[in-house]
Chain A
């Protein structure tokens, strides 16, 4: 059955009274102890998002602290090189800290302050969510703890150093696969024990419903800026427009697409296909994973027949997650967005091509989106427009890139 998106209702509000999107994605599958803190946060956020003073505060920090708007540029060399559709990039990696994670982190810190909490905790995979939360926590005077898988601590060293420099404590997670999925679990477990004094920030549009809402509401800034920038560039929204974004948890894609929901723009989400010769991947939507419950929400998730969460593999720590936001499950089943995947090798060569031809340096996450743009562009007419969300900076990946490509230049 095709799910329906209701017009004139924000994507994050399309759930039923049980907080389920399309009757089957999301919800709050949480321990009793978290019921009240989540309920309190839900009420507080409902109030704040209608509060003009709070919105002004948010806009103020987005402008002066995050750096809004981030650039919207045409990639002339890449367009010429591929010879097809016009390719543009929304360079979100120019935001303070180098990725879109700053929006969610800033909003969570503002909320934590309103809730009177002095401590804030968060999970991180690629390290950007952790880096930004530690930055924002420092700015707003909150004590911060970041949960990060031991494997990710090794492969995303520059962000680990940044987190420490911001004065936050990094808690290495050594359970399970030692990646993002375990970091989120451990962070939630910590919150169960400390929810009376501590605010939790989930780093993407995953987890219990309120965290999905706050995150997508925060990253929506990306498309609010973009829709203006597109109108300035083209005078209107181009009739044949593709918005391509990588998806791991799905926070940047949700924000990149939000304001275009009721336009004809085509949404393409690119999951992490993992290494070319491996059976493992992090692409539940592309590979037809079944609905299951992960981190408090029903979603398409990589799992075995019994319901044990499956292993994933990706060169990109930020996409290396077995689940996917319930919002994207909903968009997929409503046929509003389509999802595909790029493998590690494709992402790497996309990185190489884009950073070689253009003055931008996308991290391995958006390199997955660029890989899809590179596949599509030559097949399209020059009247068509592709915009890629370049949502993270490659500096965090310098070790991996050096190892795989021989050198890393900036």
Chain B
């Protein structure tokens, strides 16, 4: 049986457009709001990434750090993150949801316990920022056994040889980091160059779903629409920060922005 992530890509291919993948942080700015945000943006996004916040991130830029900080200040715990996923899935059982975060939280909960909670709440995939290949092999295997996709990352520094191995061992989706940057950096590489690298990876195995993330905003998204999927994260976190500052409702604001993003890649 095909996974929900694989089905989402299949649908997008039929519609001849990339999958729109959003990233927001669980508990930003409140538990309730982050659930409402998922409910709203899922109308326009194909796959939802949900960050479980860590207070010592080594690869996040200012925007996501800000969102994580807000969420942690509100006392968000892993059990709340799973609760949010569970509630979301109740109304949107077919919309794939991917948890993203740092390994220490999984390490403390225990890998098996963590995966059990993922399964019970309906998580479809995992991105673990600081668990690279091949150190992630064992954990990725455990995920596969539970039919959870472990999403491997590739970056501009990944060697050709390494890419082949990673692509070979990957599950339903691979994430290409567009440039040398933390999340939310300004796109400092031309879209042409990014797509060149993207195509190099695609040629290793054209069947794998490859998405591009980092530096993608309303301005840059359309130039990369030939990819299988595009991830927008920091820009969304920034909108939440902004709307809170201006005392606007982050939920409606975000829904509108994601709607616009979707229109730019049709």
Contact = CB atoms under 8 A, between A and B. Distances in A.
Nearest to B69: A175
A305 B133 CA distance: 27
Interface residues of B, number: 39
B182 interface: yes
A37 B180 CA distance: 11
B132 A31 contact: yes
A12 to B, nearest CB: 20
A189 interface: yes
Given A35-B162, A195-B180, A292 B58 contact: no
A31 B102 CA distance: 10
Interface in A23-42: 27-37
A175 B133 CA distance: 29
Contacts of A306: 77-78, 105, 108-109
Nearest to A31: B59
Contacts of B129: 31
B55 interface: yes
B56 A29 contact: no
Contact of A189 (B58, B109, B135): B58
B21 to A, nearest CB: 18
B209 interface: no
Contact of A33 (B57, B65, B77, B180): B180
Contacts of B254: none
A34 B104 CA distance: 18
Interface in A303-348: 303, 305-309
Interface string B52-94: 0011111111000100010010000110000000000000000
A174 to B, nearest CB: 10
Contact of A193 (B105, B158, B185): B185
A295 interface: yes
Interface stretch (B8-16, B149-157, B190-198, B199-207): B149-157
A189 B130 contact: no
Nearest to B153: A32
A35 B60 CA distance: 16
Contacts of B104: 292-294, 303, 307, 309
B181 interface: yes
A176 interface: yes
A188 interface: yes
A175 B66 CA distance: 9
B178 to A, nearest CB: 11
A194 B108 CA distance: 31
A188 B156 CA distance: 17
A344 B154 CA distance: 46
Contacts of B135: 18, 27-29
B130 A29 contact: yes
B131 interface: yes
Interface string A142-180: 000000000000000000000000000000000110000
B108 A185 contact: no
A99 B248 CA distance: 52
B241 to A, nearest CB: 14
A192 B180 contact: yes
Contact of A294 (B56, B61, B109, B131): B56
Which among B56, B60, B129 has the greatest number of chain A C-beta atoms within 10 A? B56
A175 B153 CA distance: 26
Contacts of B108: 290, 292, 303, 305-307
Nearest to B53: A308
Nearest to B62: A175
A30 B56 contact: no
Contacts of A307: 54, 104-105, 107-109
A30 to B, nearest CB: 6
A181 interface: yes
B105 to A, nearest CB: 4
Given A27-B135, A193-B180, A35 B55 contact: no
A296 interface: yes
B56 A309 contact: yes
B37 interface: no
Contact of A292 (B60, B107, B158): B107
B163 to A, nearest CB: 10
B103 A293 contact: yes
A233 interface: no
Interface in A168-221: 175-176, 181, 185, 188-189, 192-196
B182 to A, nearest CB: 5
Contacts of A33: 59, 155-157, 177, 180
A98 to B, nearest CB: 29
A305 to B, nearest CB: 7
Contacts of B182: 189, 192-193
B39 to A, nearest CB: 26
B263 interface: no
Nearest to B59: A31
Which among A192, A290, A294, A308 has the greatest number of chain B C-beta atoms within 10 A? A192
A29 B159 CA distance: 18
Contacts of B180: 33, 192-196
Contacts of A28: 132, 135
Contacts of A175: 65, 69
B99 to A, nearest CB: 14
Contact of A31 (B54, B109, B130, B162): B130
A36 B157 contact: yes
A176 B55 contact: yes
Given A31-B153, A32-B153, A307-B109, 9 more contacts: A32-B177, A33-B180, A36-B158, A36-B159, A188-B59, A189-B182, A293-B107, A305-B108, A306-B105
Closest 9 CB pairs of A and B: A307-B108, A36-B157, A307-B104, A33-B155, A293-B104, A31-B59, A32-B153, A307-B105, A29-B130
